[in-house]
Amino acid sequence: MASNLPLPVPPRTPTPPPDDPPSTPIYTAHTLDRNALSPMGDSLAPLRDNPDSEDQKHLSPTRSSFNLSVTDATQQNVQSDNVSSGPFSFKTTTMAKSPVVKSNIGQRRGHKYKHSSISHQIFLEPPPRAPLALPNSLPIPTLKECRTSMSVDQKRRFWWSVCHMFVAAYTLWSAHGSLAMTALSHLILFDSLGALLCVAVDVLGNFEVWKRSSIRHPFGLERAEVLAGFAMCVLLLFMGMDLISHNLQHFLESAGHEPHHTHAHERISPGSVDFTALLAISSTLVSAIGLRNHGRIGKAMRFGYIESLPSVLSNPSHFLTLSCSMLLLILPLVSIQLYNWLDVLLSSTISICMCVIGVRLVKTLGSMLLMSYSGPGVSDVVRDIEADPCVFAVDDARFWQVHYGLCMANLKLRVSGSEDNLLRLRERVSSLIKNRLGGGYGAGGQKWEISLQFTIETI
């Protein structure tokens, strides 16, 4: 009776339904054997006619083949459950060997804040700015372009400056050991270089780069004239020192020492006219009046002793050359012994004057290259500005010269008063600087650009 009781079915853990419908199981021949789980084996064969008893004895644990019956069927069921009907549907995938193409759709790069949706209200587009009025740079003319741009008058002046150099060479050749004539030849050479510089400045003025400002050259190329004048002044200083050494050598030779070179002081016949001195005077006057050589240098230097003389003689270089030439015209009228002493004295005087003028010019043009103003009258101008009733104090005052024709003044004042009084003060300071330092209206002095900054004091 006990063997006929139905055996309970062991509990089974429920599994969730698979995402994909399970495939149709493939049954083998031995899986269709319903007596595989029967504990009785052949003894249950007569009961096969009863289907109910057959199903009840199918999973009987009393059969010896109970564990073996699950081998093939259950393994396939477990594998199919794990693959298809498990909670995680793991499927084998194959990685592609081709490179992955990255798509930028829907992505935003870093540091592009203005393209984000939030920053449209925070980061605004800057207003469009007008292009700079100053160009980055201007083309510098070549030698061929300068030659083709020369006018007829400029070519005439250029050839005259070359002739002036030949006059200096002829004066040195005809010196015949005269120290004064040698010093005069050095002065004529300096004048001829000044005439050539004036022609070069006039030719470069044909081009836009000379006066127009750019980022590379804020004041144009006019400062190149200051640099060339500085080099000429250094040359003048060295020529003066060379003459001094030559005079010292001549003095030692006359004192009894053996000379290294013989100096035969030949002179023209008494009572005759020295043609070389006359040629030096005429060439100097033509260059001074026609070419205005050393004109800008003379205005920048300003010697108070000769400033009241006419325009030609007010320039120290012209004054020195013309005075030396006039004295050489008078020397043939004196005796031979007096001529030798006057020749040495005149040469020493000219060489010392050349050194003094050279040092003065080097200092003036050097300060101009360093963007500073070395002219007189600055302290008087500042004192007059402080004396104005609207001015409390002058906090800062800067005066500097760019080149021969342009000076600048920057002042910072502490003032008080109404708008009309401040406007009157601004006009008064500008006119005071232009009249005191620039020579006044129509005087042909330097151009002054003035900038004022007012700090209003509350009383």
Comparing 115-124, 245-254, 411-420, which segment has the lowest mean pLDDT? 115-124
* Residues 298 and 417 grouped into a single domain: no
Position 410 in a domain: yes
Q: Are residues 382 and 297 in the same domain?
A: no
Share of the chain above pLDDT 70, in %: 64
Q: How many CA atoms lie within 13 A of 136 on its CB side?
A: 1
* pLDDT tier for residue 130 given thresholds of 50, 70 and 90: confident
pLDDT band of residue 57 (cuts 50, 70, 90) is very low
Residues 209 and 212: their CA atoms lie apart, in Å, by: 5
**Domain of 416: which CATH number?**
3.30.70.1350
* Contacts of the segment 336-341: beta carbons below 8 A, 24+ positions apart: 336/267, 339/267, 340/265
Together in a domain, 398 and 328: no
User: What is the per-residue pLDDT across 133-173, written as a single tens digit (0 to 9) for each?
Assistant: 777 888 889 999 999 999 999 999 999 999 999 999 999 88
Rounded Cα gap, residues 262 and 264, in angstroms: 6
Residue 99 lies in a domain: no
Q: How far apart are CA 148 and CA 418, in angstroms?
A: 58
How many structural domains compose the chain? 3
Host H or E run for residue 230: helix 223-254
Highest mean pLDDT among 309-323, 331-345, 387-401: 387-401
Q: What is the mean pLDDT of residues 101-116?
A: 51
Residue 114: inside a domain:
no
Decide if 231 is inside a domain.
Answer: yes
Q: How confident is the model at residue 236 (pLDDT cuts 50, 70, 90)?
A: very high
1-10, 52-61, 198-207: which range is least confident on average?
52-61
Predicted confidence band at 39 (pLDDT cuts at 50, 70, 90)?
A: low
Please indicate, yes or no, if residue 131 is contained in any of the structural domains: no
Q: 356 and 436 in one domain? A: no
Mean pLDDT of the chain: 75
Region 426-444: mean pLDDT is: 77
pLDDT at 321 over 70: yes
- Counting Cα atoms < 13 Å in the Cβ hemisphere of 147 gives 4
**169 lies in the same domain as 59:** no
Over residues 26-50, the mean pLDDT reads: 50
One domain for residues 324 and 227: yes
Highest mean pLDDT out of 36-45, 157-166, 214-223: 157-166
The last residue of one of the domains, among 62, 85, 108, is 85
Q: What is the pLDDT of residue 159?
A: 92
pLDDT at 28 (0 to 100): 47
Q: Identify the pLDDT of residue 340.
A: 78
Cβ pair 386, 411 in contact under 8 A: no
pLDDT value at 113 more than 70:
no
Max avg pLDDT among 45-54, 290-299, 374-383: 374-383
Averaged pLDDT, 217-229: 88
Q: In which band, very low, low, confident or very high, does the pLDDT at 351 lie, cut at 50, 70 and 90?
A: very high
347 and 417, same domain (yes or no): no
- Determine the pLDDT at residue 29: 46
Burial call 310-344: b when 16+ CB within 10 Å, e when fewer: eebebbbbbbbbbbbbebbeebbeeeeeebbebbb
* Mean pLDDT, residues 228-236 taken together: 91
> Do 421 and 351 sit in the same domain of this protein?
no
Count of CB atoms within 10 A of residue 192's CB? 24
Q: Centre a 10 Å sphere on the Cβ of residue 223 and count the other Cβ atoms it contains.
A: 18
Range of the domain at 438: 378-456
How far, in Å, are 170, 177, 229 from residue 295 at the CA level?
Answer: 25, 32, 11
Coil, helix or strand at residue 451: strand
- Helical H segments across 96-151, by residue range: 143-149
How many alpha carbons lie under 13 Å from residue 139 in its C-beta half-sphere? Answer: 7
Crossing angle for the helix pair 179-204 and 336-369, nearest 10 degrees?
A: 30
Residues composing the chain: 459
Residue 369 pLDDT > 80: yes
Lowest pLDDT segment from 148-162, 284-298, 349-363, 441-455: 441-455
d(CA 156, CA 147): 13
Which of 350, 369, 388 is the last residue before a domain boundary? 369
Instruction: Say yes or no: 354 and 397 in one domain.
Output: no
Whether residue 225 sits in one domain with residue 154: yes
| Same domain flag for 273 and 347 | yes
Task: With respect to residue 188, please indicate whether it lies within any of the assigned structural domains.
Answer: yes
Average pLDDT for 295-301: 70
* Residue 243 within a domain: yes
Residue 217: per-residue pLDDT: 85
At residue 440, does pLDDT exceed 60? no
In a domain, 430, yes or no: yes
Q: Which of 56, 85, 114 is at the close of a domain? A: 85
**What pLDDT band is residue 123 in, cutting at 50, 70 and 90?**
low
Helix axis angle, 223-254 relative to 179-204, nearest 10°? 170
What's the pLDDT tens digit per position in 401-412? 888 888 899 999
Of 352-361, 414-423, 439-448, the least confident: 439-448
How many CB atoms are located within 10 Å of the residue 233 CB? 23
Domain co-membership, 251 together with 311: yes
- Is pLDDT larger for residue 195 or for residue 75? 195
pLDDT in the model for residue 47: 44
Percent of the chain with pLDDT over 90: 15
